[in-house]
Structure 1
Amino acid sequence: MELTVTSSALACFKKEWGFDEGEHIRVFVRYVSGGESPFAFGISRDTPQEAALTTTAGKLTFFVERKDLWFLDGSSLVLDCRGEDIVFHVI
């Protein structure tokens, strides 16, 4: 299991989302609907409590808390950018 941030995602986090060096960015699981895929990833500025996956890219720290690992089911997560949107790839 691994957390990866692409260079285009890093640029998007800094330019479009306004994150600054030294900040911590939490990737979390959230409920979005009762449909076929009721859960999705979200992003927020946060301080790690029980970080299970962590990576540093361009002086930003990205992390996933232990309580959200169930959604990855042993897979890795890649954060990428398409236009101004962050895209999550579970591989």
Structure 2
Amino acid sequence: MNVEITDAAVAFYQNEMNLTPGDQLRLFVRVGGVGSGGFSVGITREIEGHNYEMLEKKGIQFFVAKDDLWYIDGMKIDYDDDRDMVMFTQSKFDNLDHPLFIKET
């Protein structure tokens, strides 16, 4: 699995979710908000009985189900201080909300 989670993004989740080393989070594909029908990344502490890929950053384990790798693999997760929000970028899609076209690499 090729996912980059910056130190700033991990620090944001540690502060917002009171995480300590050894805690586990699951990243998953979710269908977007009201009326959008788009996709986004969800995050939860619940780890279910799926087949997962895992990466660890600053003592926090991040899990992604293999069924969700089509969207998350290759993603960069960063925290933007100016916007006060986590930013998700994915170079293989033209539009992360509606990933209809996969860019040629």
Higher fraction of strand: 1
Q: CA deviation at 1:17?
A: 2.7
Deviation at 1:87, TM superposition (A): 1.7
TM-score using structure 1 length: 0.78
* Separation in 2, partners of 1:57, 1:70: 21
The residue number in structure 1 matching 2:88 is 88
Alignment root-mean-square deviation, CA? 2.0
Cα distance in 2 for partners of 1:87, 1:45 equals 19
Q: TM-score, normalised by structure 2?
A: 0.69
Give the greater-gyration-radius structure (CA).
Answer: 2
Structure 1 residue runs of 5 or longer lacking an equivalent are: none
- Is residue 52 of structure 2 the alignment partner of residue 51 of structure 1? yes
SS for the counterpart of 1:16 is helix
Q: Which amino acid aligns with 1:7?
A: D
Q: Deviations over 1:9-66 (max 9, x none)?
A: 111111123222111111100111554x6111111112263113x2111100012101
Amino acid at match of 1:50: N
Map 1:31-70 onto structure 2 (within 5 A). Answer: 31-33=31-33, 35=36, 38-47=38-47, 49-52=50-53, 54-70=54-70
